[in-house]
């Protein structure tokens, strides 16, 4: 199984279908897509700044933003949505909405902006025992590792911990 984290900006891009299709046309085996938070998460960041939300509230609102992006990805690619890790195993390709799984394991990741959709995708890949985590973002190259990506600010600070022991493949896409 492959878990692919799709940048929130790519989820919102007009070229989404052709980019995803060309990147994954030769994948053999099940694939689970995790949508980044995109503009919906940016809205939560703005609320956090202006309303001084608690870390807990901002964290869970950002996860809800990922749910909205997952639904957008489902509709744009005409894929099934998985609401649990078990559901993922029923499809060749699906989009997972992590809300239910994160609610079932609220201590699974730290609460706060140091954990974004990148780390949540890594968390999901580990929980699914994925063969690989593919990071589809406008940054990175085959030599990128979790530590260098975090140091460059391409992923959140928790990502190296969340992605520990995962095989990571960076698919740079400019959209």
DSSP state of 28: -
Position 26 confidence tier, pLDDT thresholds 50, 70, 90: low
Domain parsing of the chain, residue ranges = 2-172
Res. 142: pLDDT tops 70: yes
- Architecture in CATH for domain 2-172: 3-Layer(aba) Sandwich (3.40)
The percentage of the chain sitting over the pLDDT mark of 70, rounded to a whole number, equals: 99
Taking CA atoms, 75 is separated from 16, 94, 103, 118, 143, in Å, by 12, 11, 24, 21, 33
Q: What is the pTM of this model?
A: 0.95
């Amino acid at each position: 199984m492959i878990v692919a984290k799709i940048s929130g900006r790519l989820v919102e891009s007009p070229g989404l279908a052709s980019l995803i299709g060309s990147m994954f046309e030769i994948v053999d085996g099940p694939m689970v897509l995790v949508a980044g938070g995109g503009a919906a998460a940016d809205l939560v960041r703005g609320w956090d700044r202006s309303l001084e939300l608690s870390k807990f509230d901002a964290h869970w609102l950002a996860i809800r933003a990922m749910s909205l992006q997952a639904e957008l990805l489902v509709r744009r690619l005409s894929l099934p949505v998985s609401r649990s890790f078990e559901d993922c195993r029923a499809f060749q390709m699906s989009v997972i909405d992590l809300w239910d799984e994160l609610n079932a394991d609220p201590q699974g990741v730290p609460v706060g902006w140091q954990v974004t959709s990148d780390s949540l995708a890594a968390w999901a890949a580990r929980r699914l025992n994925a063969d690989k985590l593919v990071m589809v973002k406008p940054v990175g190259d085959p030599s990128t590792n979790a530590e260098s990506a975090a140091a460059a600010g391409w992923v959140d600070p928790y990502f190296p911990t969340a992605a520990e022991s995962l095989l990571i493949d960076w698919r740079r896409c400019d959209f």
